[in-house]
Structure 1
Amino acid sequence: MFSFLAFRDWIHQTVLFKFLLSWCHFIFTTNHHFIFTTNHQFFFTTNHDSILPNEIITDILLRLPTKSLLKCMCVSKSWHQLISSLDFVNTHLKLNKHHIVLFPGIFENIRFCSLPPLFNKQQLTQELFHMDPPCSPPFFVGSVNGLICLFNRRRDTYIWNPNIRKSKKLFKSSWGTSCYTKYGFGYDDSRDDYKALFIDHCGNSYNGEFSNTRVVVNIYSSRTDSWTILHDQLKGIFLLNYSGKFINGEIYWAASTGIHDYNVRNIISFDVANETWGSLELPICREEVFNIKVGVVESELSVLYTCKPGTTSDVWILKDRKVNVSWMKRFTIEYPQYAILYGFDSPIFTFSIYLRQSDDDDILLLIPGKIMIFDGSTKKFKHTAIVKECNTAEIYGESIVNPLTISCKSSA
């Protein structure tokens, strides 16, 4: 099906880039003169005075991809200051729509791939690339606004932007005293505050049973560059999936009533701005046995109900949380009879679904160690690809947000 929006964006980018090419020899100051080529490479030429207004230069730079902006920062001090400014970074974050897929490893470093090859089974194995995180092995907490939160076995915690190759090591906290630690990473846009959350379920073990279970919540705030430790929260609630899903200001986990109870009872949310907890009922509450997963479809909270014996899954999305909790069944995907979803039975794993905007509108399902493609019209399985030793993949939006400058901001 023809997409007018995609065509419009393509026309806009093409015209804008041709405009940049036609004016490139006027853009730079007397000290620097710079020319773009069609593949975003550049070189210096003779000196000229700039006659292009700064507003137009800024508008052009805002529409360049992240990697091109990093090159532009090397052109002059004025460009470096402009691109590094908070207003520019935040505006570019809203305009930039380039996404890749992260594959957090179980024992290895993080791998990544652009989205298009994932829809082609033959290209996928040739398109995976390795990242070089600041700690090894990295345990993935979450990502937001181009920043990735991760930690290692020593509980060293980092906020990292792989695009600009900068990371911030957080001060040590007391989290990790339990083998049942759950975590999440989110963003409070009202205060421009990034928060990392670590929840420890602690208790005394006797003959495999836990008694006197207590919950300790550790919250890191980038705005104050400090940790807050809270006790006596989430009594009688056990979070199931290790990494919470951050969606529209809240972090979500599937939850049960005890450490040894893996039946999903409801969904627990953490409001990043207010630091308050909430609870959501499941879309379906029946006596039948379902395999239930919490995940995300595009930018919506979703629940995946896999019916026994596991040949179909109903995809439900949360339509409106702030006014009234409203679930809607989006579609049902159909697996082949021989498909066995090893390792995906446990609710500790989450999923992500990406809907391809193209003629066939294919559905991309990301689950631990596996990528599955479904036909957009019939919702039937098309093909799959294995990504060995990989947790659930994440859709990641690139940015130029510097983790070294997000701490200790002055109050608005």
Structure 2
Amino acid sequence: MNSRWQTVSEARQATLQRHSTNADENSEPIPNDLYIEIFLRLPVKSIATCRCVSKLWASLLGLPYFTELYFTRSSARPRILFACRKDSELCFFSTPQLLNPDQRSSLIAASYHMKIPFDCRYNIVSPIGGLVFIRYGHIFEGRKTPELLSVIWNPSTRQSLTLPRPNTRKRLCLQSYFGYDPTEKQYKVLSMSVEGDIYKEHQVLTLGTEKLSWRMIECCIPHSHGSKGICINGVLYYPARADIYSGIGMIVCFHVRSEKFSFIKILKPFIRILRPTTTLINYNGKLGSLVWEGSNYHKRKGFEIWVLGDPGKNEWSKHFYGLPLLWQNILAKDMLMFAGVTGTNEVVLSSRYPSDSPSQPFYVFYCNLKCKTIRRVEIQGMKPIIGYHNYIFLDYVEDVKLIQAF
């Protein structure tokens, strides 16, 4: 690690010296280190503007030293990312993610990032850091039917990278997941074709390679497709079944670095973990699951949190969070979905289909597991696209690294 940073530092110094020699001899230039300190304090939208000011600024803003330091500082200030669908567009917004359970903020303004067109069904995989993986249909000029695209987006820079189509027959459906290996700092996409309701032709694509290409890998246990997954500490988890008719449930573990599969069998006492409404979460670095208590939405009195202890022993612990009586009726009015759990152990919920009435506020709810309290935070600035289908993701990080550098 030290040698890596030494290499980055040497490259940085060479760039700084090269531009310093071109400065006007009669002027006293601003030290480049001071430039970087100033840039680190700028909002992400200003960084894009600064890249266009001069070659010097573009060079400084492209240094690995700067982009990694900016990302590290942004990671200490995670945000909530909203993907909002309306008509034929998908719009992205973000807000600060409240980190202090004692913070009494009741109003937060959303920042607009970008919008993209889409023409048919799509799915959004949970963001990792500052990148979002999206599969959606796009109708190209001169065509009548949409073509399904797999695209990596960076909402902070509004850059995208369209991935090549996996090596499979076009008539087959595809299911894809997004993972990250923190050891090698590599992003990978896992894609599988769906044939007869069973995953086939498992393939992996690694971002950052000179030529993007898919590689076939082996999976030892056949399984049917499940719902959304989550990547925690280099392991991609997603729920599945042996087949669509089987009651045998499992959580598939794809180890991003080794590209190997393992499986966690869900035994009968824990079968609630695989409900369609279940949300997999990162609970203090461990795999967890959020499940509403009861089947009647309007009579729910709380929710359960299941946390996986030792994966090898299949040990799960259950925690129940009872909603305060005052909030039971309030939360029952909306079809709330789980966004996840913050680093301070607050469960975040939001409406998937918010009201499109201009007089109806849009809220995000923070449920404090320790204090048994709930904070309702109004989100402003998203009203033009409220009323359709929303997705909400925690721990989004603003990243100024150009997407070609991943």
CA deviation vs aligned residue, 1:28-49 (integer Å, no higher than 9, x gap): 98569xxxxxxxxxxxxxx841
Does residue 99 (structure 1) correspond to residue 78 (structure 2)? The answer is yes
Residue of structure 2 equivalent to 1:227? 213
For residues 327 and 401 of structure 1, do their structure 2 counterparts lie closer, same or farther at Cα, with a shift above 3 Å needed? farther
Residue of structure 1 equivalent to 2:90? 109
Q: Which runs of 4+ in 1 moved over 6 A?
A: 117-122, 323-326, 341-344
Measured in 1, the distance between the counterparts of 2:30 and 2:279 equals 57
Measured in 2, the distance between the counterparts of 1:105 and 1:196 equals 23
Q: How does 1:227-306 map to 2 (within 5 A)?
A: 227-230=213-216, 233=219, 235-241=221-227, 243-260=228-245, 265-281=249-265, 285-286=268-269, 291=275, 292-297=278-283, 300-306=286-292
Residue of structure 1 equivalent to 2:177? 184
Q: CA deviation at 1:365?
A: 2.6
For residues 269 and 177 of structure 1, do their structure 2 counterparts lie closer, same or farther at Cα, with a shift above 3 Å needed? farther
> What is the TM-score of this pair, normalised by structure 1?
0.67
Q: 1:307 aligns with which of 279, 290, 293?
A: 293
For residues 374 and 223 of structure 1, do their structure 2 counterparts lie closer, same or farther at Cα, with a shift above 3 Å needed? closer
Aligned AA for 2:392? A
Residue of structure 2 equivalent to 1:80? 58
Q: 1:353 aligns with which of 341, 357, 380?
A: 341
Greater relative contact order, per chain length (Cα 8 Å cut-off, separation 6+): 2
Q: How does 1:2-401 map to 2 (within 5 A)?
A: 30=23, 48-50=27-29, 52=31, 54-55=32-33, 57-62=35-40, 64-97=42-75, 98-105=77-84, 108-115=89-96, 123=107, 127=110, 129=112, 131-133=114-116, 139-153=123-137, 154-174=147-167, 181-203=174-196, 213=198, 215-224=200-209, 225-230=211-216, 233=219, 235-241=221-227, 243-260=228-245, 265-281=249-265, 285-286=268-269, 291=275, 292-297=278-283, 300-309=286-295, 310-318=300-308, 332-334=321-323, 336-338=327-329, 339-340=331-332, 351-354=339-342, 363-366=347-350, 368-369=352-353, 371-375=364-368, 377-381=370-374, 383=376, 388-395=387-394, 396-401=396-401
The gaps in structure 1 that reach 5 residues or longer are: 1-26, 33-46, 204-209, 407-412
Measured in 1, the distance between the counterparts of 2:340 and 2:52 equals 37
Residues 90 and 117, structure 2, Cα contact 8 Å, conserved in 1: no
Residue of structure 1 equivalent to 2:3? none
Q: CA deviation at 1:398?
A: 0.7
Residues 183 and 244, structure 1, Cα contact 8 Å, conserved in 2: no
For residues 256 and 350 of structure 1, do their structure 2 counterparts lie closer, same or farther at Cα, with a shift above 3 Å needed? farther
Aligned AA for 1:101? I
Q: CA deviation at 1:312?
A: 1.9
> What is the TM-score of this pair, normalised by structure 2?
0.68
Q: CA deviation at 1:144?
A: 2.1
Residues 216 and 229, structure 1, Cα contact 8 Å, conserved in 2: no
Residues 306 and 312, structure 1, Cα contact 8 Å, conserved in 2: yes
Q: CA deviation at 1:193?
A: 2.8
Aligned AA for 1:390? H
Residues 244 and 251, structure 1, Cα contact 8 Å, conserved in 2: yes
Give secondary structure in 2 for the equivalent of 1:82: helix
The gaps in structure 2 that reach 5 residues or longer are: 1-19, 138-146, 355-363, 380-385
Identity of aligned residues (%): 21
Q: CA deviation at 1:120?
A: 8.9
Aligned AA for 1:302? G
Structure 1 stretch displaced more, 373-382 or 144-153:
373-382
Give secondary structure in 1 for the equivalent of 2:148: coil
When the two structures are aligned, how many residues end up with a matched partner?
A: 344
